Amino acid sequence: MRVYLLLFSLLPGLALGEACVVHSQAERLDVKLCQENRSIPASLFLDGFCQPQLQGQTVEVEFLEQCPPGAYGICRNAQGGGELYRQDIHYYGVASDALFLAPACASQYRGQWVTP
């Protein structure tokens, strides 16, 4: 499936979504976030940023045009993988997680935390 997504992203006139929802689960862990691309090359976004390797977790990835509504917080203009690579990270699920995600947004990702 990833090969088809990559091939379609290379065809002119066909636009794939520039967002991916990543849902990971483990024994007492359930995390859902959406990454919305700002400046990451399409192939790197699809094959790298949207394909996390999380040991011991079940990971599902869905590609969309944009992140769905309902996030409790968004790290806007988050830096990842180098200064030039930017994305918006939308967080869903347990809103109290914002207590540690908001500071990480500013310090680790050099982004701006927004509460929708």
- ∠ Cα 45 50 35 (to 5°): 85
Residue 36: pLDDT above 80? yes
Parent domain of 26: 2-114
Number of domains in the chain: 1
pTM above 0.85, yes or no: no
Q: How far apart are CA 5 and CA 61, in angstroms?
A: 12
CB 32 within 8 A of CB 22: yes
pLDDT digits (tens, 9 = 90+) for 72-92: 999 999 998 777 899 999 999
Helix (H, G, I), strand (E, B) or coil at 83: coil
Average pLDDT, the chain: 84
43/6: higher pLDDT = 43
Residue 31: pLDDT above 50? yes
**What value does the mean pLDDT take over residues 18-41?**
91
